[in-house]
Structure 1
Amino acid sequence: MKKTYIILAVIIAGFIGIFLVLFGISNAPKTKTSAEPLRIGVNPWIGHGLYYVAKEKGFFEKEKLNVELIPVDDLGIGRQLIATDKLEALSITPETAAILGDAAISAQAVAMTDTSEGADGIIVSQDIKDIADLKGKSVAFEIGSPSHFFLSYLLDKRGLTTDDLTVVNTIAPDAGAAFVAGKVDAAVTWEPWLSKASEREGGRLLATSKETPILPAILIFRTEVIQKRPQDIQAVLRALFAAREWILANQGEAVAIIAKNFGITDQEVTEQLPTFRWFSYEDNVSEFTEGGYSAQNLIQTAGDLWLKLGLIKNKINAKNLVDSSLIKNLYK
């Protein structure tokens, strides 16, 4: 009888084992997110509305993430915050990634969230017909900014640099205002100043990021965070891509959320929507490390230009500043 009980116990144990395997409740450890905060720095660029939608509509919460969105108006401060471990992540453009690489700040790009497609541009006086005509002209833009990178990229195609211009160093809104007031020959700026170019007699758009989309928003994380919390980073990316899909299906409510968080009107948000594009997961798979406008290529291009202009001291290798493994394995 005792032997019978032992055999029966073995059979029951076997069935329980099969049940646990089939229904995924084995003792094997599961990949899960951490309750530790993830502090992500974002500047007041409308494309970053994606993060606020993900926060307010519960996409971060659904992934069991504790995300804190930290407004960063000054990218210099943003670089300081991530260098001193006061941020886990920062959304930046290629030239800033190059500066971080030059400064040996240990951080890597993990995805692109959006790109300017007409939101940035160069406005010029009527006598300027081509980028090459900017030589010797007074041009307003902020040194070291995305505007500077955009202008430098176009000048480089004509064999010129910003050293060939009379540079008026000022932030983008003030650059636009200076142009409309007739104080400079050209300005690198954004809306509403691009549309206001015609307020100056003969003023017009010379070039925009629609034709040259080299200003993607790149999400970088400190390398230590990538190594220790890869599942959290992947959860952030899933939440952002889910928020993108929700925005496309619920534009009215999304516009209201974005307007509220940036202190602008719903109409202003709606008018700017055609000037940029949110990246999908599929976009990242195909464009993150490959192609002329990939994050990796643009970071390298920015680094090469910045080295030529003396804005950084060392030649960077963009391959070391990008980690594509998280996006490639996101849904595997």
Structure 2
Amino acid sequence: MKTWLWIRKHWVALACIALMLPLAGCMREPESALRIGTNVWIGSEPLYLARELGHLNPEVVQLVEYPSASEVLRAFRNEAIDGMVISLDELFGLAVDGMQPRIILVVDVSHGADVVVGRPGMRSMTDLKGKPVAVESGALGAYVLSRALALNGMRASDVDVVHLESNEQPSAFVKGQVDGAVTFDPYRTQLLRAGATTLFDSTQIPGEIVDLVAVRATVLEKQPNAVQALLSGWFSALDYLKREPRDAARRMGIRQQTTGEQFLDALKGLHIPSREENLRMLGGPTPELAVTGRRLMALMQEEKLLRAPIEINEVLAPGPLASSPP
């Protein structure tokens, strides 16, 4: 009798395990936090605003701030982060190197926010001839400088390029170590306060400087909920910026070490696409970003800033945005 009871007891246990195994196989592993790298840049601030307003759970989307765009790129290459805010030209470099970035959101299009500045009294790029110019070591600074020089009939050899991270440039300018800089806010404002004058800005190259949120290709499959949370938080922050611009700018300005008024003024140099604009830029039969991207890619290859072309449609990932609730 005892033997029968023992067999019956263990048979029931084995049967329960057998029933649970298929269910366990169907269960998705819990998603880890999506790590998004950013540098100090006004275009990234709505992400931090979303977090502050409670629209972006840090346990789901973790924002990791680096001192420069170069550090963000390095972190992505080293797999310390899953995604990042990055410019389109920088993304091309990652894609060529097989890093498989996928664009899920267009953050902004520069319209005056990226500039080249020089010493007081300088009036044009030609005044920088033979002078030391600070440029961040990432692709964006080199691209802006190359375009500014080319449009003024100059070459890279006409200036003395000094590689300095964006946060190091204002101090170097004040100390007289450089006479010009390729920069953006909040460092643009700091340089202007130090007496610098604007010699070139991105209004002269419309549509060429685009900032994006890109994630690793595997993230789209493994962390879809976190991707949706990021998109939802982003547009919630934009809605708040539209409803309460002064309070939103005050909050974002604190992190950028500017006043709310200064932050709003800096935002005038950016166009922030709506959800509908994003869908047109990333998806559809002819994505707008593919058109501008191919033109940018050709310019970069001409300037020897990109060693090979990529198929731009392969890096566009409109799916998460298209399936997210409005």
Same fold at TM > 0.5: yes
- Counterpart CA distance in 1 for 2:256 and 2:122 is 35
SS at match of 1:59: coil
Aligned pairs (5 A) from 1:144-293: 144-157=138-151, 161-172=155-166, 174-175=168-169, 184=178, 186-191=180-185, 193=188, 197=192, 204-213=197-206, 214-288=208-282
**CA deviation vs aligned residue, 1:108-152 (integer Å, no higher than 9, x gap):** 111112233322212246886655676655433224342322222
SS at match of 1:40: strand
- After superposition, the Cα gap between the structure-2 partners of 1:127 and 1:300, relative to the gap in structure 1 and judged at 3 Å, is farther
- Counterpart CA distance in 1 for 2:315 and 2:275 is 20
SS at match of 2:309: coil
Percent identity between matched residues is 23
Q: TM-score scaled by structure 1?
A: 0.72
For 1:280, give the aligned amino acid. S
For 1:251, give the aligned amino acid. P
Aligned equivalent of 2:22? none
* 1:321 equivalenced with 2:315 (yes/no): yes
- After superposition, the Cα gap between the structure-2 partners of 1:255 and 1:66, relative to the gap in structure 1 and judged at 3 Å, is same
Q: TM-score scaled by structure 2?
A: 0.73
SS at match of 1:323: coil
Unmatched runs of 5 consecutive residues or more in structure 1: 1-31
- Counterpart CA distance in 1 for 2:169 and 2:210 is 22
SS at match of 2:56: helix
* 1:78 equivalenced with 2:75 (yes/no): no
Unmatched runs of 5 consecutive residues or more in structure 2: 1-27
Aligned equivalent of 2:56? 60
Aligned equivalent of 1:22? none
- Counterpart CA distance in 1 for 2:29 and 2:204 is 40
Aligned equivalent of 2:46? 50
- Counterpart CA distance in 1 for 2:226 and 2:134 is 41
Aligned equivalent of 2:13? none
| 1:287 Cα deviation from its structure 2 partner | 3.3
Contact 1:109 1:322 in 2 (8 A): yes
Aligned pairs (5 A) from 1:78-117: 78-117=72-111
| 1:107 Cα deviation from its structure 2 partner | 1.5
| 1:51 Cα deviation from its structure 2 partner | 0.6
- After superposition, the Cα gap between the structure-2 partners of 1:102 and 1:156, relative to the gap in structure 1 and judged at 3 Å, is farther
For 1:238, give the aligned amino acid. S
SS at match of 1:326: helix
Q: CA RMSD in A?
A: 3.7
- Counterpart CA distance in 1 for 2:213 and 2:30 is 19
